[in-house]
Structure 1
Amino acid sequence: MQRMIKQSIVLPGTAAIALLFAGCGESKVAQCNKIVKVANQAVTIGQDFGKNPNPQKGSKALTEVATKIDTITTDMKGLEIKDEKLQGYQGRFLTLYQSTSKGLKDTATAIDKKNLKSANTALASLKKNSSEETKLVNEINSYCSGK
């Protein structure tokens, strides 16, 4: 009888401890904050470039921004995100940053080659990325705020 009482206390206690540790993973909010922190760095790069585009540097300024975006891409890729929906947002940010970097590099190359048509095509792609970024930011903000 005494053995049965110990088992009935030990098993539920063990299960409660296991559930406690299983729940110790990063919260959705913490994971959101990690993604948003990296995304905000990308926004800052874009804003800084918009305020001071360094036209005297020409295409080199675009290449420098692309290099900074590549760093942001690496940072975003390195985040450990468990929430499936947030993993989707993370993937979309990665695609966006890779596309933006490519667009900046393509624009720089077109400028160097004095190819106006290619430059305009690359700029149109960058403009599309900007609208995609706005949509993505709104979606992740909504998800992370619980709306």
Structure 2
Amino acid sequence: MPVWCKYIVIAPVSLSIVLLVTSCSENKASQCQRLIQVVNEGNSLIDQKKGQQAITSMQLSRDLEAVTGSLKELNLPDPKMKEFQSRFVKVFDNLSQAIAKAARALGTAKTAEASESGREKIQKARTDIDTSLTAAAKTAGKESDALVNELNKYCRQP
């Protein structure tokens, strides 16, 4: 086989290997896109189901647990992206727990009897709902907003 024939075969194969390797390595923009997509799914769930019934709130809590799981499963090689990922995991985990606690309290209030002890259960449930959701809104909400801003700033950098 003449030398020039070998180059005709080697050049395209080498180019294919280089393109394959570079296309498989993930850049910062694609990592940002994947992380933002999962975070948006979680935020969308919250926006759709906030203020609904106890059963729906328990489902929202489970859905947020699934979002937390999806966040944990992202394989982000960039160390800064990994930091954002772990911080978002904490935010969605805290929200999930707070919503579950409020949903349980709402369920307790719904089953309370029309008696003095029933009124006490309702009052305790209201307090539990208020404290868990207020705390979640203050901490997780602020943390999420700050994280989104930081993530957007980081993802815009070259």
Q: Same fold (TM over 0.5)?
A: yes
| SS of 1:81 mapped into structure 2 | coil
1:47, 1:117 → 2: CA distance?
Answer: 23
Change (3 A) 1:61 1:97: same
Match of 2:59 in 1: 64
2:148 alignment partner, one of 137, 140, 144: 137
* Runs of 4+ with >4 A deviation: 20-24
Identity of aligned residues (%): 25
Aligned length: 125
Match of 1:119 in 2: 129
TM-score (norm 1): 0.76
Structure 1 portions without partners, runs of 5+? 1-16
Q: Does 2:96 align with 1:104?
A: no
Structure 2 portions without partners, runs of 5+? 1-16, 109-121
Q: CA RMSD in A?
A: 2.2
Q: What pairs up with 1:1-147 in 2 under 5 angstroms?
A: 21=21, 25-50=25-50, 53-54=51-52, 58-113=53-108, 114=122, 115-128=125-138, 129-146=140-157
1:104, 1:92 → 2: CA distance?
Answer: 19
- 1:104 Cα deviation after fit: 0.3
TM-score (norm 2): 0.71
Match of 2:13 in 1: none
What amino acid is the match of 2:157? G
1:77, 1:126 → 2: CA distance?
Answer: 21
